[in-house]
Amino acid sequence: MADKAAFRETVNQGYAFKGEHFDLGIAMLDKEVVEGAMVCLPLQTMNRHGLIAGATGTGKTKTLQVLAEGLSDASVPVMLMDIKGDLSGIAAAGQINDKIAQRLAKMGKEFKPSAFPVELLSISEERGVRMRSTVIEFGPILLSRILNLNDTQEGVVSMIFKYCDDNQMPLLDLKDFIKVLQYIGNEGKKEVEATYGKISTTTTGTILRKVIELQQQGADQFFGEPSFEIDDLMRISDDGRGMISVLRVTDMQNRPKLFSTFMLSLLAELYATLPEEGDLDKPKFIMFIDEAHLVFPEATSALLQQLETVIKLIRSKGVGIFFITQNPQDIPASILSQLGLKIQHALRAFTAADRKAIKQAAENYPETDFYDVDELITELGTGEAFVTVLNEKGIPTPLVHTMLVPPRSRMDVLTESELTQLERSSTLVKKYNTVIDSNSAYEILTAKLKQAAEMESKPVDKPAKKAAKEESIFDNTVVRQATRTATNIITRSLLGALGLSGRSRKKSLF
């Protein structure tokens, strides 16, 4: 049996942080609670990213809830990607039961139920604030990568953006992009080729098919106006707590391309918008990606490449990204190596492959003289986990078998009436849930083609016809009034390794 006094001393020294922190649980040795050995999380290193792993039913979601509560209390805004649909209860106060009472008694703590400030978000028909992005904010390179285009096709997409920029035709939604794509492949082919070079009809046809594929996964709901402003994810509630944004993506499991599109856009926006911060006392923003094992197998190579680069760079902006999954091996090794906080719930060994995965998982954690990690990792109880974090010097803390504190908010979903009340009280619903269909590339080109058709059908003398041909569509008063659009579009470089561009916030079209 291990020396309990030596173990307590090891834990107390390893988890004694000078800066702001919050309790995650109490240390255990030989499957018993060690009094006075609390395990804490330091806010200063929460931007070093993290992992919550474990088999189904071991308590990962509740651990995520505890982390979100602690961060919110510390005035850190949080975003939760709710793929299973079971995180909305964080907006309501929890209730004590016998199991919670017994657990807190072992820790010497009292249950203090609390509801937290929550904003429900959506990128589809789910209830909540609608998150959108315009095509022009997404940018040609980012759009090309999500469509998996080759270099030639990517060049055509870049040309489309340049053509629309030169002619003051804003690309706001996919309808605009498709209209321009059809135009340069047909009626406007000669006009465009005269300025921008030869365009293959086969290339435009391939791009069009891939855009339609993206539409079939619901991308029309994501591209458009009003576009979501990143500052609305980083709000502090009236009582000083960080706002918890719960993105409801329960219908995304069968639409991986749309989810990849959203992830790329959001990460690009975060990186491009936020200033460099260096070492902060606490992070500015934390994002939790639940059920990550559903994301990575279906993710495009662009998303994986983006995530790898963002994980390495975005912590300097004060942002932390946390993945919640069933097994650490679900996360690509290049990303897993960048995750400073690791909370490992129980894994199950039903097959030889499972046992091999468990051995690999155990090797991801610091060595310890107090536990046989390979064996104990299969015997952890629900609400228990191995924990290691980075201390304030960036050094991994001792690996500790921890009994985790229970959430103070509801460990269940909100009712329909509660969801309705939450929506009604939201100021962002009023801001974002009314679709704006501004005059853009689709309307401008439609007017241009209509005018051209009318001129062809109307008999005119030769001098008048020649003058009409020479008249630019943008010299026409009616059309010129229809081309109200965003200006000052900034081409920014995001993630030098990828050449991705973030959004440039446009002016109002009205």
pLDDT in tens, 143-175: 888 888 889 999 999 999 999 999 999 999 999
Exposed, middle or buried by CB within 10 Å (0-12, 13-18, 19+), for 363? Answer: exposed
Please report which helix (H) or strand (E) contains residue 352, including its range: helix 352-362
**Structure confidence by residue, pLDDT tens digits, 366-417:** 899 999 999 999 999 999 999 999 999 999 999 999 999 999 999 999 999 9
Nearest CA-CA partner of 399 in 27, 18, 52, 21: 27
Q: What is the mean pLDDT of residues 482-486?
A: 37
pLDDT class for 59, splitting at 50, 70, 90? Answer: very high
Average pLDDT for the chain: 84
Q: What's the confidence (pLDDT) of residue 461?
A: 56
97-142 pLDDT tens trace:
999 999 999 999 999 999 999 999 998 878 889 998 899 988 898 8
Tokens of residue 158, six digits: 């870049």
Q: In whole angstroms, give the CA distance from residue 214 to residue 223.
A: 11
Three-point CA angle 480, 482, 485, nearest 5°: 95
Beta strands 50-53 and 384-388: pairing type? unpaired
Instruction: For tokens 């299969």, name the residue.
Output: 378
The DSSP annotation for 224-277 comes to: SBSPPPGGGGS-B-TTSPBPEEEEE-TT-TT-HHHHHHHHHHHHHHHHHHSPP-
* Stronger pLDDT, 451 or 315, i.e. the higher one: 315
Mean pLDDT, range 476-480, rounded to an integer = 38
Report how far residue 147's alpha carbon sits from residue 207's, in angstroms, rounded to the nearest whole number: 8
CA angle (321 as vertex; 233, 494 as ends), nearest 5: 75
pLDDT of residue 479: 38
Q: Residue 439: what pLDDT?
A: 82
Distance between CA atoms of residues 259 and 252, nearest Å: 6
CA pair distance 168, 273, nearest whole angstrom: 25
- Cβ atoms of 241 and 72 closer than 8 Å: yes
Q: How far is CA 305 from CA 7, 252, 296, 332, in A?
A: 41, 21, 11, 11
Query: What integer pLDDT is reported at residue 510 of this predicted model?
Result: 31
- Give SS3 for 303: helix
The lowest-confidence range among 266-280, 289-303, 314-328 is 289-303
How far is 94 from 387, CA to CA, in rounded Å? 25
Beta bridge partners, 248, equal 82, 122
The residues, ordered by sequence, that sit 6+ positions from 351 with a Cβ below 8 Å of its Cβ are: none
Give me the percent of the chain exceeding a pLDDT of 70: 87
Q: Contacts by 191-198 with C-beta closer than 8 Å and gap 24+?
A: 192/159, 192/163, 195/163, 196/159, 196/162, 196/163, 197/159
Query: Which of the residue ranges 19-23, 241-245, 476-480, 499-503 would you say has the lowest mean pLDDT?
Result: 476-480
Domain positions in the chain: 22-132+225-432, 135-223+436-482
Contacts of 237 (CB under 8 A, 6+ apart): 117, 243
**Which pLDDT band holds residue 442 (cuts at 50, 70, 90)?**
confident
Select from 3.30.70.20, 3.30.429.10, 2.30.110.10, 3.40.50.300 the CATH code of 22-132+225-432. Answer: 3.40.50.300
Which tokens go with 481? 């009034």
pTM over 0.95: no
